[in-house]
Structure 1
Amino acid sequence: MPEHRAVSGSAAAVPALSISGLSVALGPGSDATRIIHDVNLEVARGECVGVVGESGCGKTVSFLATLGLLPSVLRVSGSAKLAGEEILGIGEKRLEKVRGRKVGMIFQDPQSALNPVRTIGAQVMEPLRRHLGMSARHAEERALELLSLVGIPAARDRLKAYPHEISGGTCQRVMIAVALASEPEVLIADEPTTALDATVQLQVLDLLRSIQEKTSLSIVFITHDLGVVAEICNRVVVMYAGRTIEAQNIPKVFEEPDHPYTRALLDCLPALDIDGAPPRAISGDVPMPGRAPPGCPFHPRCPRASDICREKVPVMQSMGAGQQGVACHHPLQGHA
């Protein structure tokens, strides 16, 4: 496992991104269906925090809510601050100055996120001209540099291409270039390496690390790939059924996870040695929003579940210094 750079205390004093009590609901009042439940997360300046969990756990929805990108039918509450300034509920006009400039996002499905009727060049140049005030000529030069940085060959030819004329992997790299174009302070990367082959994936991770070292970029890395988390992240936040259930530093989360769900995710990974245990699938499924069972939402799938797990939702309890904790009635470490 790679060595991970510590984030200094002074840098962590005012988080680059702070989410507190974030909730998302569909419907009015007491009849609302809760999709996200009181999510809390902090990212220090220059830190990379991985957010993991199965599909349907609320990872993407939480950060779309933070940036005001959910449909208006969904009600968002809580707090989200960039460098101490509230951005949740500040209005679309003010958010337009924040999105793309102070915070960039790499969307999960780049072929849907990119505009199909605009060229690649126009889409990479837009944040450069809009947020950084570059001239058309300088924006084109910088767009060529960005496309080359993310590993796109024949970058000048790609400037004139449309999204449907390039592969999914190339679209993914274009999306990364767009997100990094205006040099944001925070980058939310939603499965940014999924469509990339192993070689390009490593190039993108190296690029993000290099930018971090030069600019103290803060990254939220949403992914299913725990190998990528081990490679680039300082800390990990585990989500399940719209809740944050564990937060730990690396490498502790890989060596001594506290939540049974985190342990189950790790058991899904194939062993590197021949004599290692085979991967084990997690039985059952993530509950649909509004259909979670009473008590801990993981208890129907948990081998450690007891009566209290079926009756009471566990709250996050501190398990060490910093942003570390677990929401479990029977955490693995220090308990029988």
Structure 2
Amino acid sequence: MATPHKLLTLAAAAGTFLSCWVGLASSPAVAESMSPSRAPEQCPAVTIIAARGSEQNENLEPTRYHPDSPWVSNGYEEENLRALLQAVEARHPGVMKNVQVLPLDAEVYPASLYIPRIAEVDEDVTPQETLRRVATLLSHTPPQEIAATAINGLSDSVYRGVTGVPRVVAANDAALGCHPQYIFLGYSQGAVILEATEKEVQNNTGGRLRGAVYLGNPLLAPGDPSLIGQPGTGHGVLGDLPVNSRTLAATDPSHRVNYCLAQDFACDGGLNSASTAMNNGGGAHANYFLKPGPGDNATVDALARWIKEASQ
């Protein structure tokens, strides 16, 4: 059934985000690969819908988060969200036993944002070397071509993801034959995808969206009460838009986490963050749960608490 929405489409060029409004109509059917792997007649207490960050399409490792769990992910949670979920089980043993992790696969959400990489993750590059690499890149590829590729890829990715999420939830309910609680878990572009669908999913499921955790959220609004971490500004690059982390929220603040690391260009905007990201393969934005962070335990504890609530 076609359901029109007024939603945000993100576009990016040369490492910065742009935005525009689009009207969304009907979307393709959910891929068969989204069907859950499960034990017969078992219903999870919680289903986590996970949406990875831009261009995270390499470290796809189907994962069982508790040795006795019947649920195995399809691997599309990728490394940052996988590390977070493993931390939840390690810090709260047994909590993931009856949790289904259902990441959005490439058919539903491509996670596209092609911007040429100037530096590898953890590679410290001097400003002079950054300029040299940018000049070399532009000598081979015109900037307008880089921008067009990024914008077209991101627009398609966001469109497909936002229209696909409600269908994934409906298809999962139908496949399970039961009605689990849902938790959204999104990183970077994945945070935008999930946040844009919160209210629709909450309405469609009769209030079964239990909570939402977002890492490096570009839509982080100034003063958002769900912010944790120690960012300098806590201001997403798209946080001033009419649709942001506060206006799109469909849960109360106690069931939300926006985890933002200092100098993460996506959620802690500023020239210093942008410069650090360009010179160091994404800077802090790439580090969530791959390196220790000041909000790791608070994020893990919140997610575990919501799972325990839903399991009672």
- TM-score where L is the length of structure 2: 0.25
Looking at CA atoms only, which structure, 1 or 2, has the larger radius of gyration? 1
Q: Which has the higher strand share?
A: 1
